[in-house]
């Protein structure tokens, strides 16, 4: 979700206004995605690297999860959404952590769309964390090096049940991955939306899905193989 700051600056607003507008987009896109039958939606809300922003901007960003859940948790429950988080939550202010943990707990038995918030998240850090968890298993005598494979590695990531990413949408006119879900995007289709996140709408999501549907996913196979798997 990129472009909140630029969206605001171009209009002569404070960057914080962009973040608040971005939260409205989150509300809409979560609703639309669950209506359209998306199985998993992961939102990159705050990166490990975002901690280097000015303190007042971080404070604004950290005020948003509580506001979001105060308004949206009842609807998320009605829709049967299951909320999850990935990232270093221990770095977040306690109030934010509580709001997230409450949302996760309250929706834990739901079976609808998985809604994952990546907060204080970095893809490399997640890979290092998974390695650390595996080393602990090994320390306890539970892992032979030869037994380690991709499936086992993936099972030690922050959200072990998260499937590989099919579609990665980046807003804000940039074309880079910025440390997002590095392991899980190995074969993701990338779509860059020519929109700042606060102006990303249902039609943009649908356009990204249309674009995705036009792509031929080969996973290393030939075109002929991919068409008759
Ligand atoms: C995305 O918007 C929100 C976060 C990263 C938290 P930005 O704040 O990155 O907006 P730009 O890139 O400065 O426009
Ligand atoms: Mg940005």
Q: Measured from the CB, is residue 8 less than 6 Å from ligand 1? A: no
- For residue 126, pLDDT over 80 is answered with yes
- For residue 141, pLDDT over 90 is answered with no
Residue nearest (by alpha carbon) to ligand 1 atom 1: 2
What band does 29 get if pLDDT is binned at 50, 70 and 90?
Answer: very high
Q: Measured from the CB, is residue 1 less than 6 Å from ligand 1? A: yes
pLDDT at residue 131, as a whole number: 98
- For residue 215, pLDDT over 90 is answered with yes
Give me the count of residues in the chain. Answer: 229
Nearest to 1 by CA among 202, 209, 174, 150: 174
Full-model pTM: 0.97
Let me know if 129 is a catalytic residue: no
- For residue 159, pLDDT over 80 is answered with yes
User: Which residues sit with Cβ closer than 5 angstroms to ligand 2, an ion?
Assistant: 2
What band does 173 get if pLDDT is binned at 50, 70 and 90?
Answer: very high
What band does 118 get if pLDDT is binned at 50, 70 and 90?
Answer: very high
Q: Measured from the CB, is residue 5 less than 6 Å from ligand 1? A: yes
Q: What is the 15 CA–ligand 1 centroid distance (Å)?
A: 9
Q: Measured from the CB, is residue 65 less than 6 Å from ligand 1? A: no
Q: Which CATH architecture has domain 4-215?
A: 3-Layer(aba) Sandwich (3.40)
pLDDT at residue 142, as a whole number: 84
What band does 49 get if pLDDT is binned at 50, 70 and 90?
Answer: very high
- For residue 229, pLDDT over 80 is answered with no
- For residue 2, pLDDT over 90 is answered with yes
**How does DSSP assign 171-226, residue by residue?**
-TT----TTSSTTTTTTPEEEE-SS-GGG--HHHHHHHHHHHHHSPP-TTS-HHHH
Lookup: tokens for 121: 């998240």
- For residue 200, pLDDT over 90 is answered with yes
Q: Which ligand is nearest to the CA of 43?
A: 1
Locate the ligand 1 atom nearest the alpha carbon of residue 8 and give its number: 14
Locate the ligand 1 atom nearest the alpha carbon of residue 19 and give its number: 3
Distance CA 48, CA 120 (A): 5
Q: What is the 189 CA–ligand 1 centroid distance (Å)?
A: 22
pLDDT at residue 50, as a whole number: 98
Per-domain residue ranges of the chain: 4-215
Lookup: tokens for 85: 């988080």
Let me know if 110 is a catalytic residue: no
- For residue 71, pLDDT over 80 is answered with yes
Mean local confidence (pLDDT), 12-31: 98
Mean local confidence (pLDDT), 113-122: 98
- For residue 26, pLDDT over 80 is answered with yes
Rg (CA), the chain: 19
Q: What percent of the chain has pLDDT over 70?
A: 100
Q: Measured from the CB, is residue 3 less than 6 Å from ligand 1? A: yes
């Amino acid at each position: 979700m990129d472009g909140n700051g630029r969206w605001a600056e171009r209009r002569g607003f404070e960057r914080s206004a962009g973040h608040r507008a971005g939260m409205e987009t989150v509300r809409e896109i979560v609703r639309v995605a669950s209506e359209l039958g998306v199985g998993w939606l992961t939102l990159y809300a705050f990166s490990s690297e975002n901690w280097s922003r000015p303190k007042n901007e971080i404070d604004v960003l950290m005020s948003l999860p509580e506001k979001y859940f105060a308004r949206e948790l009842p609807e998320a429950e009605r829709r049967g959404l299951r909320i999850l988080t990935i990232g270093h939550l221990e770095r977040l202010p306690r109030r934010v952590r509580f709001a997230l943990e409450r949302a996760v707990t309250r929706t834990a038995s739901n079976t609808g769309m998985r809604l994952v918030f990546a907060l204080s998240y970095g893809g490399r850090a997640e890979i290092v964390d998974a390695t650390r968890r595996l080393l602990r298993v090994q320390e306890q005598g539970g892992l032979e090096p030869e037994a380690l494979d991709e499936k086992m590695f993936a099972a030690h990531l922050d959200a072990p049940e998260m499937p590989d990413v099919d579609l990665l949408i980046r807003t804000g006119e940039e074309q880079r991955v910025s440390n997002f879900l590095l392991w899980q995007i190995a074969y993701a289709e990338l779509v860059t939306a020519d929109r700042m996140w606060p102006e990303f709408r249902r039609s943009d999501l649908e356009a990204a899905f249309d674009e995705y549907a036009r792509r031929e996913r080969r996973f290393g196979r030939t075109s002929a193989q991919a068409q008759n798997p």
